[in-house]
């Protein structure tokens, strides 16, 4: 068994073609709260992966979920993180696709909760991973915040191509999303809120 990653809250191991995601103890949290949180996130990620498979959304296929050991097993996506491949030449095409896929999530009232280019893997198409912070919601606000977080992630990790990349995300989103205008209007409000917050002492 080979360790392939350690994210913010989980250790990721690879065994043949199976990824094992184990949510590890956080000793800074109170024990009961830590257990409840890890159980909740394991269950939540499981539920969302099941739903996504049922609508043929490109994510890993769930193999096993165990909320006692806080483990999820899924198939290994043998590709590259979008974070490592995105560049000035390919960003319009890739980000357009990403936008379309976020629109599909949102049309199904799924909020990813942690949209970053590290949580997307490119094989022949873009796959989304890491649904531990995801939830079901039909609120425009939640969808706008989801887009806002991706905007921030792109701004910090892909600064040089940030505008082109995020505009392409929105162009793709517009093609597929049911409530595009409403969501974009709300996104602008979310951004303004963020700006004011940043400026206050
Ligand atoms: N199914 C998978 N296939 C390939 N790589 C994966 C898979 N799941 C996780 N990874 C790798 O492990 C890293 C961390 O996993 P992730 O689910 O994002 O956990 P965390 O919540 O800790 O960020 C990812 O960025 C990715 O590189
Ligand atoms: Mg992650």
Q: What is the pLDDT along the chain (201 residues), one digit of tens a residue?
A: 899 888 778 999 999 999 999 999 999 999 999 999 999 999 999 999 999 999 999 999 999 999 999 999 999 999 999 999 999 999 999 999 999 999 999 999 999 999 999 999 999 999 999 999 999 999 999 999 999 999 999 999 999 999 999 999 999 999 999 899 999 999 999 999 877 765 555
Q: Which of the listed residues 2, 4, 5 should we mutate to test ligand 1's pocket, taking the one with most ligand atoms within 8 A of CB?
A: 5
Q: Are 136 and 44 in contact (CB under 8 A)?
A: no
Q: Where are the beta strands (DSSP E) in 16-107?
A: 18-23, 62-66, 71-75, 80-81
Positions of CATH 3.30.200.20 in the chain: 2-75
Give the pLDDT of residue 198: 58
Q: Is the CB of 76 under 6 A from ligand 1?
A: yes
| 126 Cα to the center of ligand 2, angstroms | 15
Ligand nearest to the CA of 153: 2
Q: Is the CB of 49 under 6 A from ligand 1?
A: no
- What stretch of H or E contains 136? strand 135-136
CATH 2.40.50.100 fits 2-75, yes or no: no
Closest CA to ligand 1's atom 17: 130
Positions marked active-site: 114
Closest CA to ligand 1's atom 9: 12
Give the pLDDT of residue 199: 55
> pTM of the full predicted structure?
0.94
Positions of CATH 1.10.510.10 in the chain: 80-199
Region label for 111, one of left (φ > 0), alpha (ψ between -120 and 50) or beta (otherwise): beta
Give the pLDDT of residue 7: 77
CATH architecture group of domain 80-199: Orthogonal Bundle (1.10)
d(CA 5, CA 66): 20
Give the pLDDT of residue 9: 85
Cβ-proximal residues to 201 (8 Å cutoff; 6+ apart), any chain:
none
Q: Are 87 and 161 in contact (CB under 8 A)?
A: yes
Give the pLDDT of residue 186: 97
């Amino acid at each position: 068994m080979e360790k392939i990653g350690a994210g913010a809250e989980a250790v990721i191991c690879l065994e043949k073609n199976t990824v094992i995601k184990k949510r590890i103890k956080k000793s800074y949290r109170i024990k009961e709260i830590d257990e409840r949180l890890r159980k909740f996130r394991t269950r939540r990620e499981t539920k969302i992966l099941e739903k996504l498979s049922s609508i043929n959304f490109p994510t890993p296929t769930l193999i096993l979920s165990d909320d006692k050991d806080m483990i999820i097993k899924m198939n290994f996506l043998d590709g590259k993180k979008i974070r490592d491949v995105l560049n000035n030449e390919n960003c319009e095409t890739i980000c357009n696709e990403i936008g379309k896929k976020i629109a599909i999530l949102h049309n199904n009232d799924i909020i990813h909760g942690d949209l970053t280019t590290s949580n997307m893997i490119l094989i022949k198409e873009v796959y989304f991973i890491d649904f531990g912070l995801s939830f079901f919601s039909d609120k425009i606000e939640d969808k706008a915040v989801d887009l806002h977080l991706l905007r921030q992630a792109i701004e910090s990790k892909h600064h040089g191509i940030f505008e082109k990349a995020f505009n392409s995300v929105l162009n793709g989103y517009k093609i597929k999303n049911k409530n595009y205008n409403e969501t974009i209007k709300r996104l602008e409000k979310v951004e303004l809120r963020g700006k004011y917050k940043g400026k206050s002492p």
